[in-house]
Amino acid sequence: MKKKTLALVMTAALAFTALTGCGSTGSAPAAKEETTTAAEKKETEAVTEAAAESEKPAERPEVRVLIKWSESQISNWPVLVDEYNADDSNPVKINLEFYGSEGYDDKVKAELMGDNPPEIVQLMKTTFNEYSANGQLMELTGFLGKEGWNYNKGALAWAGPLNNPENGVYGIPDFANTSCIFYNTKLFAELGIEEPANLEELTNAAKTLNDNGYKAIVTGGGNWCAPDLLAKVQAQLVGTDLLIKAYNNEAKYNDPSMVEAMTIVDEMVKSGVIDKSSADYISDDDAIAEFVMGKAGMYTAHTGMASAIDSSKEDDFEYNIIEKMDFVENPKTSVSVTWGSMWCIPANVKNQEAAEEALAFLFGEKVQKSDVTELGKIVNVDEWNAGLTHPALLTAAEQLKGAGTADSFYLLDMVSSKVLDNMIKGIQEMIQGNQTPAGVLDNVQKIWEEEQAQK
């Protein structure tokens, strides 16, 4: 009996061992299979991720654009740049940095002295002259050739330092403005005044205005509009050759021909063509207010001020610019022109290719045509001005056709900032009757010589 019982126990034990062994052998491979699948899954995910990363476009380089203007002056640019940046197929991202005029020149100076300057900077012509002469700006003739833009030859004639024998281009000029006289077309019609074309006719028009209780010409006699008066006459009588010689100390700003040009301005003041109240207008806003309120028949500046007139006038106020005005007989050029501020690439820029891509967009056909239609600007590629509708700017565009000569270049763009400041002060005093034409230019020459002595 004991033997039988023992046999049964052993049989049961063997059966349990066999069962356990089979269960162990069957479940181990299953666990191994699950582990392998998870590892393969992770490996597949890693490969997929790496492939996706490799398919992503490389991050586009950012191009910084330093701008002296306020955003309101080129209000279409941010919209167009946002559209450009949103398109991943474009090679760069453009960042417009609006600083305004206060402290801007110091900001640019510090940036250009650094190791990683912005890709593009906007410079006014007086500071541009200095930077381009010092070798701090990249030469862009090859860039312009590659883009194939048909730029106005007058605009490019001075797109380098004042001493530029090889005619290098160191900046892209933006908007052309003629030095002009705005006039109230309705008032002229009411008083039967024909649009004048020479100084004698202008003097007669001024007399008619004065006799009927109106001021003739008003301007900002305490700011840049004062030397703009001289620029109108100087371009026609003297031209630019003497200005370059004076800049190189080969001639003087108080040369008899310059005194003669200033005397013509002084005679316009004395005869009532330029109203003496202009000397009190430190801001253009005051002179423009007199003009749009109908207190003055004319306002003188350059065509860039049309936007300021438009923002100040009532809807029924109508104006244009005098298309042809000869201040002297046989003028050297029909009109004085400022070809705009300069947009430049620093010579020590890190990514020249990216800078050129951004410059090509900002001054390419799409943006420039928008500048014409949205801002009413005159751009320097004539065929892109077809969208102009503003009466005054259409007239200015006609003026530009005869202004593609070196002598048309704007006086204010060809002197140092110190000389310009002194000229403003002197002409303001002359309008007040406290200075002579020769005295103004004697002081200008003195300031220039002092500036040269400090270099």
SS3 state of residue 346: strand
143 vs 137: CA distance, rounded Å: 13
Q: Which of 19-33, 99-113, 409-423 has the lowest mean pLDDT?
A: 19-33
Give the pLDDT score at 21.
46
Q: What is the pLDDT of residues 55-75, one digit of tens each?
A: 555 799 999 999 999 898 899
68 vs 74: CA distance, rounded Å: 11
> E strands of 327-442, at which residues?
337-338, 342-344
For the four alpha carbons of 284, 305, 303 and 340, in that order, the dihedral sign comes to positive
Q: What is the mean pLDDT of residues 93-119?
A: 93
Q: What is the pLDDT of residues 147-203, one digit of tens each?
A: 999 988 878 888 988 888 888 999 999 999 999 999 999 999 999 999 999 999 999
Spatial CA neighbour of 206 closest among 272, 130, 270, 129: 272
Residue 300: is it exposed, middle or buried by C-beta count within 10 angstroms (0-12/13-18/19+)?
buried
**Beta pairing partners, 95:** 64
Give the pLDDT score at 192.
98
Asked if the model's pLDDT at residue 27 lies above 50, the reply is: no
24 vs 346: CA distance, rounded Å: 77
Asked if the model's pLDDT at residue 3 lies above 50, the reply is: no
Q: Are 68 and 101 in contact (CB under 8 A)?
A: yes
**Beta pairing partners, 97:** 66
Give the pLDDT score at 182.
98
379 vs 177: CA distance, rounded Å: 9
Q: What angle do CA 188, 398, 179 make, to 5 degrees?
A: 70
Confidence label for 416 from pLDDT (cuts 50, 70 and 90): confident
Q: Token pair 């002295």 is at which residue?
A: 113
Alpha helices in 56-94 (DSSP H): 76-86
Spatial CA neighbour of 380 closest among 101, 180, 197, 169: 169
Q: Which of 34-38, 315-319, 322-326 has the lowest mean pLDDT?
A: 34-38
Q: What is the mean pLDDT of residues 412-422?
A: 90
Q: Which of 105-109, 406-410, 445-449 has the lowest mean pLDDT?
A: 406-410
Give the pLDDT score at 54.
52
Phi first, then psi, for residue 300 (nearest 5°) are -115, 135
Q: Which of 266-275, 306-315, 399-408 has the lowest mean pLDDT?
A: 399-408
2 vs 33: CA distance, rounded Å: 48
294 vs 313: CA distance, rounded Å: 10
CB atoms within 10 A of CB 444: 26
Three-class secondary structure assignment of 254-307: CCHHHHHHHHHHHHHHHCCCECHHHHHCCCHHHHHHHHHCCCEEEEEEEHHHHH
For the four alpha carbons of 100, 101, 102 and 105, in that order, the dihedral sign comes to positive
Q: What is the pLDDT of residues 232-281, one digit of tens each?
A: 999 999 999 999 899 889 999 999 999 999 999 999 999 999 999 999 99
Q: What is the pLDDT of residues 341-389, one digit of tens each?
A: 999 999 999 999 999 999 999 999 999 999 999 988 999 998 999 899 9
Asked if the model's pLDDT at residue 19 lies above 50, the reply is: no
Structure tokens, 75? 């209000």
Q: Are 407 and 234 in contact (CB under 8 A)?
A: no
Give the pLDDT score at 438.
99
Q: Token pair 């991943």 is at which residue?
A: 88
Alpha helices in 114-184 (DSSP H): 125-133, 141-147, 153-157
Domains of the chain: 62-173+340-379 (3.40.190.10), 177-338+408-453 (3.40.190.10)
Identify the DSSP state of 176: -
Give the pLDDT score at 35.
53
**Residues 6 or more apart in contact with residue 15 via CB below 8 angstroms:** none
Q: What is the mean pLDDT of residues 23-31?
A: 46
Spatial CA neighbour of 415 closest among 178, 218, 129: 129
391 vs 201: CA distance, rounded Å: 22
Identify the DSSP state of 224: T
178 vs 160: CA distance, rounded Å: 20
Spatial CA neighbour of 160 closest among 146, 139, 174: 139
142 vs 378: CA distance, rounded Å: 24
CB atoms within 10 A of CB 110: 10
Asked if the model's pLDDT at residue 102 lies above 90, the reply is: no
Percent of the chain at pLDDT exceeding 70: 87
Residue type, 34: E
101 vs 92: CA distance, rounded Å: 27
